[in-house]
Amino acid sequence: MNEIITIASGTWKNVLRMKVVYFLILCALVLVASAINYDVLSMGLQKELMIDVSLVLNSIAAMLVVISLTFEIPKELREGVASTLLSKPLGRFQYLIGKMFGCIVTGAVICALIAVGSFFIFNMSFGERIGVTMFQTHLLVILALIPMSALGVLFAVLLPEVIAPIITVVVVWFAFSTKFLAGIPVLYGGILPDLDLFNFRANAVYQVQIPWMYVLLVTLWGICYAAFALSLASIVFERKDIK
Amino acid sequence: MEENVIVIEGLSKNYKRWFSSKGTKALDNLTISVPRGSVFGFLGPNGAGKTTTIKILMDLIKPTTGSAFVLGKPSYDVDVKKRIGFLPDSPAFSRQLTAREFLNICAKLLRIPSEQRNETVEEALHTVKMAEHAREKLGSFSRGMLQRIGVAQAILNKPELLILDEPLLGLDPYGRQEFKQIIIDQQKKGTSVFFSSHILSDVEEICDRIAILKKGHLLCTGELDKLLAASGINVVITPGEDKVFKELMTDAEGSVKNPDGGWTLSFPHNNPELLKKIEDMKKESPDALAISASREKLEDFFFRTVENANV
Ligand SMILES: Nc1ncnc2c1ncn2[C@@H]1O[C@H](COP(=O)(O)OP(=O)(O)OP(=O)(O)O)[C@@H](O)[C@H]1O
Ligand SMILES: [Mg+2]
């Protein structure tokens, strides 16, 4: 367990020290705040627009973190960072879990910053308290990081370096709109995760509370999917030659 | 305690390509063993398969056939790595971390108890003379500085066995000198060292055993003294003994004029008639010449071995 935390902390330190991350968070918050100016576009629904924009941007941020993971793992393998780490008493499976944990924590920190920033802007703009639903929906965005980062790890070890991020973007994008994928029964909620389970933008906009039981169950589902994807990844990774 | 710290038996590696059945044969039936306490130089031209062998020892690459044992355990044993120090061929570490943080991560992974960790890290930083750069990010380091950090992470756990892939690469003359001292100190502490290098003069200085590899084949392995001594004899001719000199000169492989006006001639071992002739001359006029076993330079031995090999 200690090994996993060590790898994970190395990962999040590495990402959270990049100044560009905070610049992007700031950009996201500026976009959220600017929703108030779109009174024509939103036909007086600025409040709803702002909630929606904050959720979409937060999901995109989560996706970016996962994509950065699909860049980082092949890079560590290519540059030899991984071989230094794996020459220590550290199993390859532990390395992958550590990377995934690192990604989840990084994503959680970034998404939480965006969520809190959005709440603050919302409160400043409309003088309203933050409803439970808004909190829940942002929490679900963070929880979606669990299956998403496992998927990122899987693609990062399965696919060649340049292709992994592209496939991840495409799959995550489709996975958020499984209506399209529902026609392919094997994929739907099977090999690929059904990320639509974590998407409650409509609830947020219309302030319809989500049962806490659902949040719990969907978290469990995410953990199960992550376990599945990570096992698959480790079967491949155990046999891989590392540069 | 095991006699050999590394045992490699019939090791072969075929790198497969994606869309072709024929791969690159990097290692062919390699068998070597490294006795405990030795400093072992692993030599060979570029592409000989040194890095491949070393990575198989560290279980980073899976062999096609054959097996490798380190410290008596199969190379895929995770726990045995606690007792090994490893320096990869091009050390690269997370750029955003400082030297101290990186070594701390390594120390944690090596399961060094937390109360000893800081002290161990500082000691390693000190050994490689990087203490003053401990707070700088690895991304800002030069090649040689990274190499030093690489050496530091390899000796953190006071390993029983050091496996180093081209540890001298990128080091300045001071760095090379310091590195050799580190190796000698490690050997005194009982650490066995296995390293690849292209700098033959340094290998000759610190190694007691070597192996030479070419295109994945083992050309020779053994004690350095024996390998180099077996190569021929030297004959020192006293100044003024021109008759002896002229007679032997034509058969000599090499001749060097001595400061006193005499000559040193070198002869190969593999010509019994010639050796007989020299012995007879020695009997005839004992004062005219002195015979001694010549110790070939490692560099000459290396070129001769690699060029004569038909692989
Ligand atoms: N990942 C790889 N895929 C395919 N072939 C490889 C791979 N790595 C090494 N090779 C091939 O294996 C052979 C041995 O390479 P290796 O890196 O072990 O040599 P080396 O002795 O370390 O050389 P150098 O002195 O240049 O470091 C070479 O022919 C090389 O082309
Ligand atoms: Mg090499």
Shared domain for B153 and B91, answered yes or no, is yes
Q: How confident is the model at residue B231 (pLDDT cuts 50, 70, 90)?
A: low
pLDDT tens digits, one per residue of B18-38: 776 778 888 998 999 999 999
Nearest to B81 among A6, A18, A89 (CB): A89
**Residue B118 located in a structural domain:** yes
Strands B84-87 and B161-165: parallel
Kindly give, in sequence order, each residue whose CB lies less than 8 Å from that of residue A168, ignoring residues fewer than 6 positions away.
A66, A67, A70, A151, A152, A155
The pLDDT of residue A43 is 63
CATH number of the domain residue B269 falls in: 3.30.70
Structural domain including B133 reads 4-221
ipTM, two decimals:
0.79
Contact A239 B62 (CB under 8 A): yes
Shared domain for B237 and B216, answered yes or no, is no
Contact A88 B90 (CB under 8 A): no
| B209-214: strand order across its sheet | B84-87, B161-165, B192-196, B39-43, B209-214, B217-223
For B212, list phi and psi in degrees, rounded to 5. Answer: -115, 135
| B254-257: strand order across its sheet | B254-257, B263-268, B232-237, B289-293
pTM above 0.80, yes or no: yes
Shared domain for B142 and B178, answered yes or no, is yes
Give burial (CB, 10 Å; 0-12/13-18/19+) of B158.
Answer: middle
The pLDDT of residue B118 is 92
Average pLDDT on B124-136 reads 91
Q: What is the tally of structural domains in chain B?
A: 2
The pLDDT of residue B35 is 92
Kindly give, in sequence order, each residue whose CB lies less than 8 Å from that of residue A237, ignoring residues fewer than 6 positions away.
A92, A93, A96, A157
Nearest to A6 among B86, B89, B108 (CB): B108
Shared domain for B137 and B38, answered yes or no, is yes
Shared domain for B67 and B101, answered yes or no, is yes
Greater confidence, B235 or B269? B235
Shared domain for B67 and B116, answered yes or no, is yes
**Residue B302 located in a structural domain:** no
Shared domain for B129 and B213, answered yes or no, is yes
Nearest to A85 among B15, B84, B109 (CB): B109
**Residue B305 located in a structural domain:** no
Shared domain for B209 and B237, answered yes or no, is no
Q: How confident is the model at residue B119 (pLDDT cuts 50, 70, 90)?
A: very high
**pLDDT averaged over 10-residue windows placed end to end, chain A, 243 residues:** 87 83 88 77 73 88 91 89 91 93 94 92 84 88 92 90 86 69 56 74 78 88 91 91 85
Which residues does chain A have within 8 Å of residue B93's beta carbon, measured at their own beta carbons? 81, 84
Q: State in Å: Cα A236 to ligand 2 middle.
A: 25
**Residue B212 located in a structural domain:** yes
CATH number of the domain residue B216 falls in: 3.40.50.300
**Residue B303 located in a structural domain:** no
Q: How confident is the model at residue B144 (pLDDT cuts 50, 70, 90)?
A: confident
Greater confidence, A15 or B195? B195
Shared domain for B127 and B195, answered yes or no, is yes
Q: Which amino acid is at A202?
A: A
Shared domain for B193 and B46, answered yes or no, is yes
The radius of gyration computed from the CA coordinates of chain B, to the nearest angstrom, equals: 24
**Residue B193 located in a structural domain:** yes
Residue nearest to atom 7 of ligand 1 (CA): B15
Q: State in Å: Cα B165 to ligand 1 middle.
A: 13
Nearest to A73 by CA among A16, A152, A174: A152
Average pLDDT on B263-287 reads 81
The mean-pLDDT minimum among B41-50, B109-118, B221-230 falls in B221-230
CA distances for A177 relative to A90, A203, A204, angstroms = 38, 16, 17
Of the listed ligands, the closest to the CA of B55 is 1
Task: Determine whether the shortest distance from the Cβ of B52 to ligand 1 is under 6 A.
Answer: yes
Average pLDDT on B205-214 reads 92
Contact B111 A10 (CB under 8 A): no
The pLDDT of residue A109 is 94
Q: Residue B29 is encoded by which pair of tokens? A: 């039936």
| Mean of all residue pLDDT scores within chain B | 87
Q: How confident is the model at residue B2 (pLDDT cuts 50, 70, 90)?
A: low
**Which ligand 1 atom is the nearest neighbour of the CA of B49?**
18
**Residue B301 located in a structural domain:** no
Q: Is it the case that residue B178 has pLDDT exceeding 70?
A: yes
Which residues does chain B have within 8 Å of residue A17's beta carbon, measured at their own beta carbons? 96
Which residues does chain B have within 8 Å of residue A14's beta carbon, measured at their own beta carbons? 94-97
For B168, list phi and psi in degrees, rounded to 5. Answer: -90, -10
Shared domain for B184 and B92, answered yes or no, is yes
Q: State in Å: Cα B58 to ligand 1 middle.
A: 16
Shared domain for B132 and B259, answered yes or no, is no
The pLDDT of residue A237 is 93
pLDDT tens digits, one per residue of B46-102: 999 999 999 999 999 999 999 999 999 999 999 999 999 999 988 788 888 899 999
Contact A14 B97 (CB under 8 A): yes
The mean-pLDDT minimum among A156-165, B129-138, B198-207, B274-283 falls in B274-283
Task: Determine whether the shortest distance from the Cβ of B26 to ligand 1 is under 6 A.
Answer: yes
The pLDDT of residue B8 is 93
The pLDDT of residue A39 is 65
Contact A79 B92 (CB under 8 A): yes
Q: Residue B55 is encoded by which pair of tokens? A: 């990575």
Q: State in Å: Cα B215 to ligand 1 middle.
A: 9
**Which ligand 1 atom is the nearest neighbour of the CA of B52?**
18
Residue A52 — left, alpha, or beta (φ > 0 → left; ψ -120 to 50 → alpha)?
A: alpha
* Shortest Cα–Cα distance, B309 to chain A (Å): 29
